[in-house]
Copies of this chain bind each other. A is one copy, B any other.
């Protein structure tokens, strides 16, 4: 009970202050316990961080996948485009995604290896999932310009991340401004 609360609180602090900037003192205070009590649940700061990370990746991996599954009945464009809005709505209350974005780009130096080993499978899985989605959809809808689905998926990921990180730092308006600007161009380049 307190352990998962610790996980969630730590997640939020790491997302906002980074690994070095987050303090066990403040995390414990947010949870409502004293700092040393954290050690009843985790070996130390490293384990807390890596546990939070594993937890966030596992949860969000499923979470992202279910979005694309739940929009199977929509057109490909609606599904891909809608993902941006869905993600925006998610992120306003989903600290895990912010956390993942932050530590993906700027992992703590001393845990770089461990972070990479956890993150890479996550994005690889997302990439594979998208590639498969594009291939399957194109078989029925036949609207993509190129059949290099892996590249298309990677391009899509690049555009989403470019706008998402904008959201993390500059907020909703900047995010939507970017999306409005980039989507028509990207989609026009993607289809026949």
**Minimum distance in angstroms from A171 CB to a CB of chain B:** 10
Number of copies: 2
A residues contacting the other copy or chain, number (CB 8 A) = 43
Residue of B nearest to A178 (CB): B158
A113 within 8 A of B: no
Q: Which residues of B contact A109 (CB under 8 A)?
A: 16-17, 21
Contact B181–A151 (Cβ < 8 Å): yes
Which stretch (A33-41, A100-108, A134-142) binds chain B?
A100-108
Q: Which residues of B contact A18 (CB under 8 A)?
A: 18, 20-21, 106
Pairs A-B, 6 closest by C-beta atoms: A162-B162, A189-B189, A20-B21, A188-B189, A185-B189, A154-B181
